[in-house]
Amino acid sequence: MTTSKTISNDVWKKLSKNKKYREEFVTALVKQAFPLQVRTIRKKRRMSQGLLAEEAGVTQGVVSRAEDPNYGNLTFNTALRIVAGFDLAFIPKIVTFKEFMKWVEEVAEGYTDLPSFEKEAGITQAALGKIEEDLEKLRQRASSELGSLTALPPMPERLGSLRGTACNL
Amino acid sequence: MPVWHVVDYVSDEEGNLIRNWCATQDHAVVARFEATLITLAGIEVWDDPELEQFKVLTGPHVGLGEIRFEVEQQVGTKRKKRKFRMLGIWPPPIEREFVMLGGLEKSGRSPTPTNAFELAMKYKADFERDEGRTCDHFEDHFE
Residues B64-105: tens digit of each pLDDT:
999 999 998 888 888 888 999 999 999 999 999 999 999 999
- pLDDT > 60? residue A104: yes
pLDDT greater at residue A72 or residue A87: A87
CB-based contacts of A105: which residues, under 8 Å, 6+ apart? A4, A5, A7, A8
Residue A105, amino acid = E
The shortest C-alpha distance from B92 to chain A (Å) reads 16
Partners of residue B8 on adjacent β-strands:
B100, B135
Torsional class of B25: left (φ above 0), alpha (ψ -120 to 50), beta (otherwise)? beta
Give A85's pLDDT tier (boundaries 50, 70, 90): very high
Instruction: Specify the pLDDT at position A164.
Output: 58
- Dist. CA A25–CA A105, nearest whole Å: 14
- pLDDT > 90? residue A80: yes
Q: Do A6 and B138 touch (CB under 8 A)?
A: yes
Instruction: Specify the pLDDT at position B140.
Output: 58
Q: Do B30 and A29 touch (CB under 8 A)?
A: no
* B35 lies within 8 A of chain A by CB: yes
**B31, B32, B41: residue with CB nearest A7:** B41
Tell me what ipTM this predicted complex has: 0.89
- Dist. CA B89–CA B68, nearest whole Å: 14
| Per-chain mean pLDDT for chain A | 86
The shortest C-alpha distance from B102 to chain A (Å) reads 20
**A12, A68, A107: residue with CB nearest B39:** A107
pLDDT greater at residue B88 or residue A163: B88
Please give the backbone phi and psi of residue A55, each rounded to the nearest 5 degrees, phi first. -65, -35
Domain ranges of chain B: 5-131
Give A37's pLDDT tier (boundaries 50, 70, 90): very high
pLDDT greater at residue A49 or residue A161: A49
Instruction: Specify the pLDDT at position B143.
Output: 44
- pLDDT > 50? residue B131: yes
Residues B75-85: tens digit of each pLDDT:
888 888 899 99
Please give the backbone phi and psi of residue A152, each rounded to the nearest 5 degrees, phi first. -75, 150
| Per-chain mean pLDDT for chain B | 93
- Dist. CA B65–CA B67, nearest whole Å: 7
Selected residue of A1, A5, A7, A97 to mutate for chain B interface (largest B Cβ count, 10 A):
A7
Residues B106-118: tens digit of each pLDDT:
988 889 999 999 9
A-B Cβ pairs (cutoff 8 Å, strict): 106
Across B23-51, average pLDDT:
94
pLDDT greater at residue A126 or residue B42: B42
- Dist. CA A88–CA A41, nearest whole Å: 11
DSSP H or E stretch at residue A94? none
